[in-house]
Structure 1
Amino acid sequence: MNVADLVDQVSKNDRELHAWAHLSHTAAAEAVREGPLAGMCFGVKDVIDVAGMPTRCGSAASDPREADTDATCVNLLRHAGAIPIGKTVTAEYAFRAPGPTRNPRRLDHTPGGSSSGSAAAVAAGMVPFALGTQTGGSIIRPAAYCGVVGFKPSFGAVARAGLAFTCESLDVIGWTADSVGTASAVADVLLPAGTEAAGASRRSSVVLLPHAADHPLEAQALETLEHAADRLRELGVNVQTAAPWAHAGELARTHELVMYYEIARSLRPVADRHGSALGQEVLDAIKTGLTIPGTDYILARRAQERLRHDWSSLIGAADFVLTPSAPGFAPAGLSNTGSSAFNKNWSLLGWPCLHLPTRLDARGLPLGVQLVAPFERDHALLAAAGQWWPALREN
């Protein structure tokens, strides 16, 4: 199928799903015909610029004009042969207010957010991967709810030029994908090669961390996590269960402080000019963030930077963390995008995270697990997951 026909098919199939904010019928015109991703079509979350397409950020308050140039990440993918066919739906300014996207596994359940359209488009088989962003849990949680692979790289690993970011110290560009292989192929284009050791080539050790500071884990999600841990043990991986994490509450509170402080200052200029077009969730976030003292923010940022490079003090000698991606199944209804309780600590620390879907329940709703690696061990994380995922999948 050529690109124009694919876009027509995607447009037709999207009538119920609402994963796309914009589709381009001329997407193939500037395609590079060779490269490691040659001919692979992808979606781009609508907070990331694509030349010739508007960047609306899920908001009527945004600029409706077409972007003049690609974001750096989109340009790199183009030169690797991949073709951006459109912009995927985002929560307003990648915050919490849900967009119109529905979960392709069950249309009456949330797809998660804020990268809702990206996860749904991949889960529906429309594209093999789609770019998203994460501030709290905006890649990993939609990937979990829609049952696709989700990868959040280390903070700063992917260039953010061309991203309408709202939280300078937290926002990361990542992607959802139809497999670990696809996620790794994209990483080979967008991430520095580095000198890190390859994944699980030796006897690896994993810390099992089933806890979050402010949210319980549903029974079936815990069962899924424990099953994954057992399968890793069968592969020869040393898996040790951690006690409730003493740092979790402090990290969660620090994440909230940094997020609200920065989003308030990023979006107040929009509110000053177009406040009547902004949703109440964004307006409330701006109001909250403006009450946070600068001294508190500076202390939080210092703690964030210190802990980002101190894996051993938080995790110990383990190579990876195995932890939930979400509290459980995608919640019914479309009025909220779910809890980021199992994501925001890792976003604060800036460590790379990968969601692996492992099972479907009788309703067709997915569950899976999250693997976390030390800062800038992105390729090692993907390599380990590539080896382990086949054994973790239950159906």
Structure 2
Amino acid sequence: MNTVSGNGIDGRIAAPPADSETAAYSHADPAPLTAVAIRRGLQSGEMSMEAVLAHFLGRIEEHEGAVQAWREFDPALARVNALRQWQAHPQGLLGGVPLAVKDIIATQDYPTRYGSEIYREGVRGGDADCVARLRAAGAAVFGKTVTTEFAYFSPGPTANPHDPRRTPGGSSSGSAAAVAAGMVPLALGSQTAGSLIRPAAYCGVFALKPGFGLHSLAGIKPMAPSLDTLGWLANDADDLELMRAALLGIAYQPLPRLDAGALRLGVCRGHEWLQMEPAGATAFEAAVSRIAIAAMVSERPLPDELAGLSAAQKTVQAYEAARSFATDWEQGRARMSPSLRALIEAGQACAEVDYRAALDLGRCGAAAFEGIAEDVDALLVPAAPGEAPPGLAATGDPVFSRVWTLLGLPCVNVPGQRGPQGMPLGMQLVGRPGSERRLLAIARHLQPLLAELG
């Protein structure tokens, strides 16, 4: 198999020097080709599958050397998959649409390595449930994208498409970067703390973390079963809705246009606000002010008794990770990163009574959210502390996603703004359970307003 990967396995595309900016994604590049546009073009005959393939394979050839988004990629297999899927599912919601899959999610045509040296040789098997559902809708799996080790903190080689000297975030690093660089229109990821929203914010793309428990995780490496959530990324909010429809097996309907004057939004900075970087805080306040011109906006602080929610998420994650990774710990702890070993050791040392208390606080938070958000369509909350940090040795802080992941609420990253270094900034929307479609419609409405701020 002729593969290209961010880890250099049979690497056909070499990474540039660390200080190179020459292959960074150009902001002058044409607008990304969306999944909705591909579906419409293929079904109408205005677009050919060969043209779709030429576009995306060309984007990979152009940008992968700098971005290193792919853990496994075979252009010949990608072509075969796409042509086969288009021929077999011409009326499918995703018929022939290229898809990237995070490398903790099993696929039948590529090995899964979980970003770990323990599994460097790869695990073979069938498709995860989510991949099988998307293939049934016609999606063409292009390859596996780089994840951090076991979807925790230790990063792979992936760089931010807007500046290869900066992190793309994690743990869905490769998925966010591949979408941001226009290599694919859709990518699967996951979130246990902030692994979808943060990289989406850093890379300037949309991401949906659905409410907890809505989609099967069978075939996905578990970390913390009380928190783990499947999600996906795209350059367009309607593409996220198309993917949601395909996964649920329902008809796709374009997102509704909203009456801005009737839109009600709450602002929640959270108890972690002091961890915002100055530029991030300035941008957030500017975004709130701009949105308030077009919608009804009100303050919705979290009560003081919920100040421990972020710490509770960390407790649940560590406790459950120690048990999910028990076999890996016994057989391969020497090949684990220091950060992963520290997480597992913290979970092993955590008393069950503290774990249960953390879960209880999460349930209290979810109940309190119903009152806080009962008369608004969504909350506006930070997506990340600021712009993507320099360097590839870390993936940034998930602090502004921990609370909402613990509460199991649907979240969307809305791109559009840029920080003082010209890097993307995101705004996070948080909604009530079952409000995914509404959140995506709001996200599509807000994105042009954020883009006006530059």
- TM-score, with length taken from structure 1: 0.92
Residue of structure 2 in register with 1:33 after alignment: 89
1:1-395 to 2 correspondences below 5 Å: 1=51, 3=53, 6-7=56-57, 10-11=60-61, 13-24=63-74, 25-27=76-78, 28-29=80-81, 30-31=84-85, 32-34=88-90, 35-62=92-119, 64-191=121-248, 200=258, 203-213=262-272, 215-235=274-294, 237-243=295-301, 245-315=303-373, 317-361=375-419, 363-394=421-452, 395=454
1:339-378 CA distance string (max 9 Å, x none): 1111100000010111111223464311121111012211
Contact 1:11 1:23 in 2 (8 A): no
Question: Helix, strand or coil: the match of 1:355?
Answer: strand
Identity %: 35
1:120/1:324 CA distance change after superposition, 3 Å: same
Contact 2:378 2:432 in 1 (8 A): yes
Which has more radius of gyration? 2
Question: Helix, strand or coil: the match of 2:117?
Answer: coil
> What are structure 1's unaligned runs of at least 5 residues?
none
Structural RMSD (CA): 2.4
Contact 1:45 1:132 in 2 (8 A): yes
Q: CA deviation at 1:158?
A: 1.7
CA distance in 1, matches of 2:348, 2:123: 31
Q: CA deviation at 1:133?
A: 0.6
Q: CA deviation at 1:214?
A: 6.9
Q: CA deviation at 1:389?
A: 2.3
- 2:93 alignment partner AA: P
Question: Helix, strand or coil: the match of 2:142?
Answer: strand
CA distance in 2, matches of 1:219, 1:386: 27
Residue correspondences, number:
392
Contact 1:210 1:222 in 2 (8 A): no
> What are structure 2's unaligned runs of at least 5 residues?
1-50
1:195-247 CA distance string (max 9 Å, x none): xx979568232111224427422233233323332333322x22012346525
Contact 1:214 1:249 in 2 (8 A): no
Question: Helix, strand or coil: the match of 2:105?
Answer: coil
Q: CA deviation at 1:9?
A: 5.3
- 1:274 alignment partner AA: G
Q: CA deviation at 1:54?
A: 0.9
Q: CA deviation at 1:13?
A: 2.9
Question: Helix, strand or coil: the match of 2:144?
Answer: strand
Contact 2:280 2:419 in 1 (8 A): no
- 2:314 alignment partner AA: E
CA distance in 2, matches of 1:288, 1:36: 44
- 1:94 alignment partner AA: A
CA distance in 2, matches of 1:238, 1:2: 41
- TM-score, with length taken from structure 2: 0.80
1:53-88 CA distance string (max 9 Å, x none): 111000011273453211111111112221110111
The structure whose RCO (Cα within 8 Å, separation 6+) is larger is 1
Q: CA deviation at 1:4?
A: 8.0
1:151-170 CA distance string (max 9 Å, x none): 11111112111111111000
CA distance in 1, matches of 2:313, 2:348: 16
